[in-house]
Amino acid sequence: MTDSWANSAAGPAASTAGPAVGGVLGVDLHLELRGSGLRAGLMDALREAVRTGRLAPGTRLPSSRSLAADLGIARNTVADAYAELAAEGWLTARQGSGTRVARRSAPRRATPVPPRTRPARGGPAHNLLPGSPDLAGFPRAQWLTAARRALTAAPHEAFGYGDPLGRIELRTALADYLARARGVYAAPERIVVCSGFLHGLMLLGQVLRARRVRAVAVESYGLDFHRNALTKAGLRTPPLPLDARGTRTEELSDLRGVGAVLLTAAHQFPLGMALHPDRRSAAVDWARATDGLILEDDYDGEFRYDRQPVGALQGLDPERVVYLGTASKSLAPGLRLGWLVLPEELVREVSGTKGEVDWVSSVLDQLTLAEFIASGAYDRHVRSMRLRYRRRRDQLVAALAERAPEIRVTGIAAGLHAVVELPPGTERSVVEAAAWQGLAVYGMSRFRHPSVAPGTDALVVGYGTPSDSAWPGALDALCRVLP
């Protein structure tokens, strides 16, 4: 058996490429020649590489001379193998273009047509799940411009292992933006860049457990994977009740062993109300009196419509509130960029928990986001998306008023989702009917804390999720399944 790496020219573009430097052109190709005959072994190896997709259609193969030298066999053996495979249709050989993998149509497969009432196997036809922005709205051109500028200006040391706090360029840009747009006291040295909100919450959970905190209070409606992250850190998550004024933070003092509370103060998820000023003050008073902490999840604070901006709770007491922000809703969750604005006493503990080096957040993405913010592109993008989401919200409200006038819509003054209230006892049947119609949507009960009694039947409609082209169809599908 001969086992060797052969250098192969890559794809159709290779035919127009200039001379190879040092005789090296394209990609490496790993071939294993098995059996007693070299030509047969080479042909089998090439067939397998094409069949399995390791050699894509159009890939240019090495010359017979080059491949023979790489494999340590005679050039005629390679030339004969190429010629026979070309005759079989595996390869093509043209003057001036070299030997390439033949382009062949994939075999057709009979695909059963699903009934109209069932969703497609590849996923729902319409997606109104909350938690995601319109990914088609990601500002690709502006992001690329920022990336080029950031890469050009980056110092050499930026490509090392990195400060666990994150790049100073991003922390400085965030400090300026958060102070201006969200009312956050955010000195750069008190910001830790993390890989999204959940990563930040996991770090805080470990720090709190190391401080002998036994429990973190949570809102009675929220995301289960946030509760799970705290539970995995060894913390209990007792719920706080909610009403029209938000989370009843005055009841924090009644919970035993609680050392922190997780709040969505600007826009409660998923019910949608802002935390009343009296409740904000009560939370801060509790934290000061008990040496506790408030973990503030400001997940979509930039998007407000019919109300004055609601600033971050953190501004009331930066030494008692940990502010958690993310680019997931304003840009895209795939960037995996979030940030913690910490009380001074927590900076060393959190950065130590994160590790000696920044091993989770890409330096290039950090530098690009810093440039994106500093150039004003971030503000322009947020304003543009705010108008887009407001139009969708208005279209949602208008469509429901026309086609389902008995339905009440709440939580619509801000954010990327709305609460569509349902007649008592109908939530489960509506969610099931939506699934059969190819519509992905969550019921309110999905977000209820396990120890909380059932409340109002409702759907949580993520109107920010679909693209502009998909939105009308998703809205129509929603109206069809409502009782």
What residue segments make up the domains of the chain, in order of their start?
2-101, 126-134+380-481, 139-375
Using pLDDT thresholds of 50, 70 and 90, give the confidence band for residue 340.
very high
Would the pLDDT of 17 be above 70? no
Question: Residue 29 has what pLDDT?
Answer: 66
CA dihedral 466, 467, 473, 477 (to 10 degrees): 0
Report the C-alpha gap between 25 and 43 in whole angstroms.
Answer: 22
Asked whether this chain's domains 2-101 and 139-375 adopt the same fold, the reply is no
Question: Residue 32 has what pLDDT?
Answer: 77
User: Please, which contacts does 246-249 make with residues 24 or more away whose CB atoms are closer than 8 Å?
Assistant: 246/273, 246/274, 246/275, 246/276, 246/279, 247/219, 247/220, 247/275, 247/279, 248/279, 249/275, 249/279, 249/280, 249/282, 249/283, 249/286
- The larger pLDDT score, comparing residue 220 to residue 96, is at 220
**Averaged pLDDT of the chain:** 88
Question: Residue 94 has what pLDDT?
Answer: 81
- The larger pLDDT score, comparing residue 99 to residue 400, is at 400
Report the C-alpha gap between 82 and 91 in whole angstroms.
Answer: 7
211-242 residue pLDDT tens: 999 999 999 999 999 999 999 999 999 999 99
Q: Which fold has domain 126-134+380-481?
A: Aspartate Aminotransferase, domain 1 (3.90.1150)
| Spatial contact of 247 and 227, defined as CB atoms under 8 Å apart | no
Would the pLDDT of 24 be above 50? no
Would the pLDDT of 121 be above 60? no
Pairing of strands 321-326, 293-297: parallel
Question: Mean of the pLDDT values across residues 361-376?
Answer: 96
Q: What are phi and psi of 263, to 5 degrees?
A: -130, 145
| Spatial contact of 69 and 24, defined as CB atoms under 8 Å apart | no
Would the pLDDT of 63 be above 90? no
Question: Mean of the pLDDT values across residues 122-149?
Answer: 93
pTM: 0.79
Q: Which residue has the tokens 């919970």?
A: 255
Would the pLDDT of 210 be above 80? yes
Q: 185: which DSSP letter?
A: -
Question: Residue 120 has what pLDDT?
Answer: 42
Amino acid at 166: G
Q: What angle do CA 448, 316, 200 make, to 5 degrees?
A: 50
Using pLDDT thresholds of 50, 70 and 90, give the confidence band for residue 16.
very low
Using pLDDT thresholds of 50, 70 and 90, give the confidence band for residue 162.
confident
Question: Residue 88 has what pLDDT?
Answer: 82
Q: Based on the number of CB atoms within 10 Å of its own CB, is 65 exposed (0-12), middle (13-18) or buried (19 or more)? A: exposed
Q: What are phi and psi of 460, to 5 degrees?
A: -105, 105
Question: Mean of the pLDDT values across residues 16-45?
Answer: 62
Question: Residue 89 has what pLDDT?
Answer: 85
| Spatial contact of 6 and 70, defined as CB atoms under 8 Å apart | yes
Class of domain 2-101: mainly alpha
Question: Residue 36 has what pLDDT?
Answer: 64
Q: Which residue has the tokens 């090495």?
A: 62
Q: How many beta carbons lie within 10 A of that of residue 142, not counting itself?
A: 15
Q: Is 101 left (phi over 0), alpha (psi -120 to 50) or beta?
A: beta
Q: Which fold has domain 139-375?
A: Aspartate Aminotransferase; domain 2 (3.40.640)
